[in-house]
Structure 1
Amino acid sequence: MHQHHVDVAPGIRLWVEERGSAAAPPLLLIMGAQASGLGWPDELVDALAEHHRVIRYDHRDTGRSSWAYEERPYAITDLADDALAVLDALDVRRAHVVGMSLGGMLAQLLLADHPDRLLSATLIGTSTLSTAPYVHPDGTTTPPEELPGIDPRILDMWANRPTDLDPGQELEWRTEHWRMLNGDGIPFDAEAARAMERRITEHTGHTRISMAHGRADHSGMLRTDELARNEVPTLVVSGPAEPVFPPPHAEHLAQVIRGASLVEVPGMGHALPRQVLEPLARAILAHTGA
């Protein structure tokens, strides 16, 4: 395991970790909004590292990377450029990319704008950057903006997030947040969620929160035509208990990305509890190995 920092833009330094053989095919993990790279469980990273040089990193305004949004505001598309900059800093010409939630949207931007840098893409718990409608099994269609939305309980948590919590209260808020993101398909393990958040807090060095990714400019992200022309092998992971991008978002994603395949991980929501790690690793490795 090798940890270091890389400079990706003026005044922006990202924490990066590598696991696995340096000679193995590179695999870049891209986490979701406001999420440290430690959001990828070690058990999953280690399973992937048996076959890959696995690279994970902290986005700007998370973990040990630069917290500089107030001085240097940015767009979400800049976070996709950061992912490329990480590969450049490590002299990686092409990589398998696995993105979750916002990370899945950033992976779509890479698919569309830099397909020559990708060996494959895996998209988890995310929605499409396409205006193409969802086609139901009976042939009827639904515009993407009319597909099921985020669980109202999660929206309420986000809208009413306290900013004056002590570290213990902050830990409990984050644990309850994971309870909601876990969905109803798998029993929620509160102590495992607390342990993960304690590791992230120790890694970060504080419990402050940044809303930078929510405030960042979200414009210019649609890639309808580019995704329809996609030639990069793409896997879409479907979580039947997904509360942020509920079914059929994954099915829609597999429709609008040319050549994409779909795999369901039983019970999966918008989180990575222990029960999903083995089937998820198996699906990713089958995809990258193909």
Structure 2
Amino acid sequence: MERFIDAAPGIRLWAEERGPADAPALLLVMGAQASGLGWPDGLVDRLAARYRVIRYDHRDTGRSTRAYAQHPYRIGDLADDAVAVLDGFGVDRAHVVGLSLGGMLTQLLIADHPGRLLSATLMGTCALSTTPYVHPDGTRTATEDLPGPAPEVLAVWSHQARERDLEAELDWRVEHWRVLSGGLIPFDAACFRALERRIIEHTGTHAPNTAHAQADPSGLLRTEQLARTEVPTLVVRAPAEPVFPPPHAEHLAQTVRGARLVEIPGMGHALPREVHEPLATAILRHTGGC
């Protein structure tokens, strides 16, 4: 079932729920510039067998309000939007799963709204903390010295804002997914092209969108709050992750108090069908849904 939620003055968010209405809620939080439809139906349906699964379009994506040009906002405001989505569905507490920017927003929820979370699952993201990473041999690496995105990712991102016709935009998006996938799992270009065509139809435009890249990223650190949280947290390690490559997942698991680390074989920064079953199983085990 689809609905629109008034998240803030002048901000309306598209959202959808699947699964039993009386089941515990599980909120999916997507990455930057990404519609909620970026969560593949196969994964959503697997989770919806046990949970009331909610996915939504961030502001400036999909069918949600295009707001940034007239009313610039902070990245932190996107975390407030996630809370507004829960409110809009009448959900007091939910399991929350965040990917990429969505993983950062989920950390903000862990820190600022712990009473709204039953659990958290973080993937493809970095720790909002200044705590150094401690290597297995005991040596330390400062947060700012952990590796950044792969050169191939940066090269693709450098062309993101260019205006293209529909087919050229689809070509760019498929290449983007190919690079994000990391190369360990065979890449299905036709599958990702169909996903992006559906997202474009859902959105109503294929124009590029860089609002989240322009949004104010200040004030995101939550070092102390993450170190003392009681929210049960799972960190997904993706061995082919090219945006936040190893050891970001390990660092995140060290940063969030009590966090567990699980590896999904072959996974990168994308969600091909090959990872749906192991990822869903990991999330369901963590949340008590299996």
Q: What TM-score do the two structures reach when normalised by structure 2?
A: 0.98
Distance 2:56 2:160 in 1: 25
Q: Percent identity?
A: 69
Residue 25 (structure 2) aligns with: 26
Matches of 1:282 and 1:238 in 2, distance apart?
Answer: 14
**Displacement of 1:41 after TM fit?**
0.2
Q: Distance in 1 between matches of 2:206 and 2:193?
A: 13
Are residues 1:40 and 2:22 paired? no
d(CA) in 1 for partners of 2:155 and 2:92? 42
Residue equivalent to 2:62: 63
Structure 1 regions of 5+ residues with no counterpart? none
Tell me the alpha carbon deviations over residues 164-184 of structure 1, each in whole angstroms, 9 at most, x when there is no partner.
211010000000010000002
Residue number in structure 1 paired with 2:288 = 289
SS of match in other structure, 1:69:
coil
Counterpart-to-counterpart distance in 1, 2:173 and 2:183: 17
User: Counterparts of 2:190 and 2:239 in 1: how far apart (Å)?
Assistant: 24
Q: Give runs of aligned pairs for residues 77-116 of structure 1, distance below 5 A.
A: 77-116=76-115
SS of 2:249's partner is: helix
Deviates more, 1:184-193 or 1:95-104: 184-193
Cα deviation code 1:95-131 (max 9, x no counterpart): 0000000000000000001101100000011100000
Q: Which moved more, 1:213-222 or 1:63-72?
A: 63-72
Q: Deviations over 1:195-245 (max 9, x none)?
A: 100110111111012111000000000000000001000000000000000
1:204 corresponds to which residue? 203
Whole-angstrom distance in 2 between the partners of 1:164 and 1:284: 38
Query: Conserved in 1, the CA contact under 8 Å of 2:182 and 2:269?
Result: yes
Question: What amino acid is the match of 2:45?
Answer: D
Tell me, which stretches of 5 or more residues in structure 2 are unaligned? none
SS state of the match for residue 69, structure 2?
A: coil
- Equivalent in the alignment of 1:119: 118
Cα distance in 1 for partners of 2:67, 2:78 equals: 13
- Residue by residue, what CA displacement relative to the aligned partner does 1:58-106 show, whole Å, maximum 9, x if unpaired? 0000000001211111000000000000111111000000000000000
Q: After the TM superposition, which residues 145-156 of structure 1 pair with which residues of structure 2 at under 5 Å, given as runs? A: 145-156=144-155
Deviation of 1:162 (Å): 5.2
Asked whether 1:221 is paired with 2:220, we answer yes
Letter in 1 for 2:181: N
CA contact (8 A) 2:147 2:245 kept: yes
The residue aligned with 2:249 is 250
Secondary structure in structure 2 of the residue aligned to 1:28: strand
Q: Any idea what SS the aligned residue of 2:266 has?
A: coil
Give me the whole-angstrom Cα distance separating, in 1, the residues matched to 2:153 and 2:13: 29
**How far off its partner does 1:148 sit?**
1.3
**Aligned equivalents of 1:159, 1:205: Cα separation in 2:** 24
Give the aligned CA root-mean-square deviation in angstroms.
0.8
The number of residue pairs the alignment matches comes to 289
Q: Distance in 1 between matches of 2:161 and 2:4?
A: 31
Match of 1:16 in 2: 15
- The 3-state SS of whatever aligns with 1:51 is coil
Which amino acid in the other structure matches residue 83 of structure 2?
Answer: L
List per-residue Cα deviations over 1:241-261 (Å, max 9, x = no partner). Answer: 000000110000000100000
Question: The residue matched to 2:191 in structure 1 has which SS?
Answer: helix
Mapped to 1, the partners of 2:281 and 2:156 lie a distance apart of 33
Report how far residue 40 of structure 1 moved: 0.2
Determine the structure 1 residue equivalent to 2:166.
Answer: 167
Compare 243-252 and 149-158 and name the one that shifted more.
149-158
Distance 1:161 1:242 in 2: 20
1:240 partner SS: coil
Contact 2:180 2:243 in 1 (8 A): yes
Alignment-mate amino acid for residue 283 of structure 2: I
Structure 1 residue 6 and structure 2 residue 12: aligned?
no
Residue 52 (structure 2) aligns with: 53
Contact 2:166 2:206 in 1 (8 A): yes
Structure 1 position 160, deviation (Å): 3.0
